[in-house]
Structure 1
């Protein structure tokens, strides 16, 4: 019994040996994350392990994570409403700030209604199994985010993966399932987080119309970046043809929490069905206040988006001119594809030595042979910041034989 439940000395030793071996195998494969310590707020530059670094590893695209207006809104809300939410929103209730935030999400997503979740991961993990059931089928892009994959795994629907952004393959699979299931759901990221490419939503919604399928878009990396800030559906002008508009406050919006927009009845159904909403303690009221302020800023300060794209275009153009492989990037996610785990790790180390904070992205986060550094450009980066990073890349790239 001790061994089975891991109780007592023998059980704890047995458990420790299992995971010590697994951990060692991961270390030998180079699959361990080295976690850096921030000594202050995140931004274009930050103190990391006590040293000022240029940050190219953050989702903080619009440089809002340390914006004084978000902090002020959070502090004022904390003084009025306190800190902790008490329990899950469905049981303990929530402050009027949440109602206001739901209306603002709907405005931002250009939908009838909006709903906030504790995290972006929770949106996918709870919504996908809530809106599908046995007798349905889900068609998922092969490079969708892990939270989408986990949400699909929790669903009782059939699952089919289509080739990345391959509309011919998606059409073939739609033909195969058409008429054989109760509902068809197409699920895709709006912007893919490792390559920085954009899902062809105009083509996806056209196929969805033809085969009477629903469309679910997780636009975590598109919000604040594409479509005048409203995201990838707005970028393609298909806001009205996407059924489930998923997003997050934790990237360009500089805060925390997930969101979904859609028709009123759809959102009310999800509110009453998604277990990650019903059974998760909500975030503090102060977070809701910061989220409201971030949405207001993104929808009104378009110059931030322009600066972001100016920086992205400058940075990518220079990397391409040096001879680096930046893959299929169409957004401020600009990978430098190395194709080897050890070289990717060595490149990251060399950049760190030059004052550039990046992380190597290796298997299993990306396929073997596509190991890389993922750069994420920020609206707050100066030309001096970018030039310093580019000089470090050129120096390290030549030394490693990458360029």
Structure 2
């Protein structure tokens, strides 16, 4: 059975293999003894592999050790965790925040705890897999609305909301495969009007379009608001967090199984993240300049650091990716089920670590290939 599935994947150009990185220096990675420029990382602010930043992180490692030793509710709750949570809450302008081990665990923890079998969830069609799985785990009734289509959502809310005890609207803020931004202002108003939770995955927005996606819409989080953010993308470390009211924080501590039944985030990671938070403003400015340069050179448009080049056919996407690899660039082909059928693409992501020369060289290569 397993062999048949693997053969089917190969036949449909959907089989995946791992590329082994032997060494890394900022946006440059070494594979098979050769150096490449990485244009597909989520390390948007170039913090994950910055050696000057790493020197500061070593101090955290010496002070806090390598692991947490237990779950937060046993003996894994360290003061440094709570200090970071307070800073992350400030970042999102909420009362409180709670650390999770990954963004995936945070999303399934949020949705499976606040929603149940008598409730209803309204989810964007292009939401991340972790949101989709969290919806399923909740056992709530799920309605999927057309991507970023608030009129479609409003129709569903008008028709279905009153039949259920509790409700939730959930969306990515920045969609990871398209780089577009959800109409958060309209969604927020709908959540208030129809008395629903408003859950926003801010993973690809935090430190990219601001400290929070809510900033660009001038939204102040309400009692019904839950914002998930990650530490492993622009913030350059590892883990995730949920920003909300203090009451919801206490609720997640007691009811979110993906928080309760797992070892705590290593305290040295919390320490390193606190250091990285100080570097965000300057790095965001550098990223913004790189985005503007890439737009100017290519004509591609994006309000974020994600630039999808949709080619449709999976084999064609693989071929272009391989040619880019031979030219010295890491830009893997993104294929179904990560993206919908017939929308295979190259997903180009920019970093504050890219030089002007890197961006010009990539543009010249793309012009020859596409």
Instruction: Give the TM-score range, shorter chain.
Output: over 0.9
Moved more, 239-248 or 361-370: 239-248
Distance between the aligned counterparts of 1:150 and 1:156, measured in 2? 10
Distance 1:42 1:22, change over 3 A: farther
Alignment partner of 1:315 out of 294, 304, 309: 294
Alignment partner of 1:358 out of 324, 331, 344: 331
Q: Tell me the residue number matched to 2:305.
A: 332
Q: 2:297 touches 2:360 (CA, 8 Å); kept in 1?
A: no
Aligned length: 369
TM-superposed CA distance for 1:329, in Å, is: 3.5
Alignment partner of 1:245 out of 227, 230, 245: 227
Q: Tell me the residue number matched to 1:383.
A: 356
Q: Tell me the residue number matched to 1:6.
A: none
Q: 1:167 touches 1:203 (CA, 8 Å); kept in 2?
A: yes
Distance between the aligned counterparts of 1:368 and 1:81, measured in 2? 46
Q: Return the structure number with greater relative CO, CA threshold 8 A, min gap 6.
A: 2
Does structure 1 residue 21 correspond to structure 2 residue 4?
Answer: yes
Q: Tell me the residue number matched to 1:8.
A: none
Please tell me the root mean square deviation across aligned C-alpha atoms, in Å. Answer: 1.5
Q: 1:144 touches 1:188 (CA, 8 Å); kept in 2?
A: yes
Does structure 1 residue 287 correspond to structure 2 residue 273?
Answer: no
TM-superposed CA distance for 1:83, in Å, is: 1.5
TM-score, length basis structure 2: 0.96
Distance between the aligned counterparts of 2:98 and 2:173, measured in 1? 19
TM-superposed CA distance for 1:68, in Å, is: 4.2
Unaligned runs of 5+ residues in structure 1 are 1-17, 321-325, 398-403
* Equivalent runs, 1:130-169 vs 2, <5 Å: 130-169=113-152
* Equivalent runs, 1:71-90 vs 2, <5 Å: 71-90=54-73
Alignment partner of 1:341 out of 314, 317, 326: 314
Q: 2:91 touches 2:212 (CA, 8 Å); kept in 1?
A: no
Alignment partner of 1:179 out of 159, 162, 169: 162
SS in 2 for 1:338: strand
TM-superposed CA distance for 1:49, in Å, is: 2.8
Distance between the aligned counterparts of 2:119 and 2:98, measured in 1? 24
SS in 2 for 1:127: helix
Distance between the aligned counterparts of 1:175 and 1:251, measured in 2? 37
Moved more, 170-179 or 345-354: 170-179
Unaligned runs of 5+ residues in structure 2 are none
Moved more, 126-135 or 29-38: 29-38
SS in 1 for 2:37: strand
